[in-house]
Structures are given as C-alpha cells and as structure tokens.
Structure 1
C-alpha cells in the first residue's frame, strides 16, 4: 500500500501537468499497476498532491468519579471489612444513606449518588491500590496444623477479639456484647453470595452464584422459594 501511494504521488505530478493524451497514458499505467478501477485511479491521481488534512484529536472523556470521591469509597469499603467490589456495590444504596445519617460520611448529595450507582468493576478498579496494601508479604508453605486450621474462624471470631484468652466475668460480658453487635452487623450490612450450581468440564469448574444480598435481605426470598411464611 505504501509503494502504491508513493508511485501514485510521483505520477500525479506528471498527470497534473500533462495534456489529455498524456493523462490517458498515465491513467492506463496506474490501472495496470494497481488493479484499481479507472474512475478510482483518476480520483486518486487528482487528489494525490492535495495537502493532508490534520487528524482530529478527540478529547478524552471527563472522569465520572473524581479523586475527591476516593476517601469516601475507601471508608465504605473499610466499614464492611474490605469486601469484593461485587458485594460492596450491591449494598452501597443502603450503606451510603445510613452512614450519612449517622454523620460518619461527610459528602455532598451528588457524591452520594455517584457512590450509590458505582458499578462493581469500577469499585474493584478504584480499590486495587488499597487491596494491594492488604496482601501478605510472603506465603507460608507449612502444612495446616490445629493452629492454622483455626484461621477458619478469622472472618468472625479472631478478627474481632484476636487469640488472647478471656475468662473473667467482665470479659465474658464484653464478648457477649460484641457478638450481639456483630450479629446485627452481619445480618443487616454484610452482603453475601451463595453457590447456586457448579459444573465441571474436564479440569475446568464453572460456579454460578446468586445475586449479592445481606442475610436479612435474602430471607424473604428464601421463604418464598421454600413456601414458608415469614413470622409476624
């Protein structure tokens, strides 16, 4: 293509200065050389020496979510204990108004609306840097013993109270208060996804989960599916 353009541009000078007979011969040469249709070749010769038009540079799209929204997003993410973007985006419409009502989130109405409608993909993209800070510096290759197996409790027990032993009456009372608060927090604020189906295709396993919902929000739907009535 580049060679065709170079040859055509060179012949275009002679074509522009030549008489009718000379133009006909040049046109024949170009058609034979390129295989173009005669009308197309004529149009190319006429405009080959025209100055090139400046390319139009499209302006970049203005960002929808500005940098001033990042602290509020990180705060919401931290409140829910750093969930995945799909889970966080599902509960944002309820979480943002709740935090604003408690004066824990100081943002404008416009910023609140942006947070409420932020997609899961955008949430993950904007929180990538924050997640990187949570990654462990190294990975252990030790086989899981009894202590490591107890890490299964990390999401609830160990995350809240650690590994110390609490055996006094005052500590027991405090622990019971923590569990009650955590029960409310988990049931009403922490969205979850349940596995609906799992299909194996050779070595590949495809898992399908239901839509993210808090345990409290998913309960009416579960009662409908099982045919049970919700207690009054």
Structure 2
C-alpha cells in the first residue's frame, strides 16, 4: 500500500466524513511534504478523576466544506478494561448551519455520510452478533473484547491491512466500521470497548511470538 494511502484518515481508527481526509500533504523542495490542507483549530484536554482518564479532542478540518466540527471524548477505566467513546459532529453557529444545509442537499441522499473505523490487528478475530449491535473481538489467546454502540450508526466488518516496518508487505486484516449520515446540526454516536470475563491478561496477549508488539 502506498504511503499516501496509509496516511489517509480512512486508514486510521477515527471518524471520517464523506471519505475525505482531515488533512493533505503537498510536495515541497528536497522531498519535504508540507501540510497544505487541514484543520485550523485543534483542541485537546485531559483529566483524571475517580480512577478514570478522560480525553476530549476536537478539530475543524471539515468545517469549511460541511459546517461540522468533530469532537471525540474518550474515557479509560482503571486497569484498562473499559474504553468508552463519543463522537460528536456539530455546527458552531449560523454560518456552519448554512454550510451544513448546503452540503446535506448536495448529494443524491440527504445528510452527510460519516464512518467511524476501528482497524484490528491480524491476530484479532472479529464476529458480529446477529442483530449487528456488537462485535466480539477474540485474541489469539482466547481473551474476548466486545465493541458495542448505541444504535446511532450501522455496524459492519470490512477488509483492512496491517502495516509494520519489519514486514515486507501489508498483512490482510479486518476493521469494524460504524457508518451513518449526519442529518441534523448535532449528531452523536456513543460506543464502548469492554473486556469480557475476569481473566487477567497474559504476556501473550501483549506480545506475539518473535517479539513483535501485538
């Protein structure tokens, strides 16, 4: 896979709007790759209370074209066995609302399409439950994690690739995808990644044979 594809927003575990990257690199002198398009404002804030680490971060890369700012909130419980996330797409004023209305009417379908992607390691085996509300993620050791969402998007599996400098070629793997359409001035999708069971993680859950990080 070319480097440019690996840098695309679609190749990362985050939200993407209409399949467009949140930034674009250009070509400069002597091989430099300056940032020619991207967010104008990026904010991040971290707190820690009651054994939970919380991070809230936002960027406005799609604000000019769609009137939407992306805000992500993450909460990691003590012990690392529960990760709770929220992805919010929102307008921040009348000008954003007008831009969103125009973008929402521009295509054949109303609204603005979004995807939230979770790229998986090749050693992780995903399986959707019959109702599509959860994805069960089984590690090679048998340890099980469950990715759930609040119903504000459609859950599916899709092909992906795993890139690592020590490997000569990309390794086929899968990704969990939450997809939907932003239909209002604020769209919120809640999701969680929870470890199932009471077993303590072992070293083989953290390191693969040969010393490569899992």
Q: TM-score, normalised by structure 2?
A: 0.21
Higher Cα Rg: structure 1 or 2? 1
Structure number with the higher helix fraction is 1
The TM-score, its normalising length taken from structure 1, stands at 0.20
